[in-house]
Amino acid sequence: MTTEKPLIIVGNDGSDAAEPALRWALNHAQAVGGAVRVVRGWSMKTAPRPESQTVGNIPPIEDFEAAVLKDLEADTTKVAADYAGVEIEYVAKRGPAANALLDCATDADADLVVVGARGLGGFRGLALGSVADQVSRHSPVPVVIVRNRKSSETERSIPQR
């Protein structure tokens, strides 16, 4: 039997769907005495501009990663404050969001992955976003997909009776 805290990986892209997923992960961690690792996948296209970037100067990749981490922490501070007793770590991983989550789950020997049903992707009307779909198909550990009001009202492909 291991004495380590259960580790919960949760994706956060700053979208409306990310907050309920984060709250769910933190609630679960609080209930089971676990820790939460909040993960954001990023690319040069999605990364915020680092403070060190000036005209004629392209900062090192580490500066972009630091800017992503800063945004991630800012996006989650309000929710995280409600869970002061839960250990929270922030990770910015360069690459597609699904890969970042799957890599973190595998590398850290996580116990659970939590994602929002829909994020910042551009395909409106889908009941399940591409990140949630990819993570649920390829995760080495159980996955919880948390819906928000908007994602639960998405048109169904199967008619209701």
List the chain domain ranges: 60-101+126-139
pTM value? Answer: 0.85
Q: Is 57 helix (H, G, I), strand (E, B) or coil?
A: strand
pLDDT for the residue 158: 58
Distance CA 105, CA 52 (A): 31
Residue type, 26: L
Tens digit of each residue's pLDDT (9 = 90 or more) over 77-102: 999 999 999 999 999 999 999 999 99
pLDDT for the residue 20: 96
**Helix pair angle (18-32, 61-80), 10° resolution:** 70
CA-nearest of 26, 12, 19 to 68 is 12
DSSP H stretches of helix in 1-159: 18-32, 61-80, 97-107, 130-138, 149-152
pLDDT for the residue 126: 43
How many C-beta atoms surround the C-beta of residue 153 within 10 A?
Answer: 9
Q: Mean pLDDT for each consecutive 10-residue tract of the chain (161 residues)?
A: 82 91 98 98 91 84 95 97 96 96 96 85 51 94 87 53 61
pLDDT for the residue 1: 42
pLDDT for the residue 98: 95
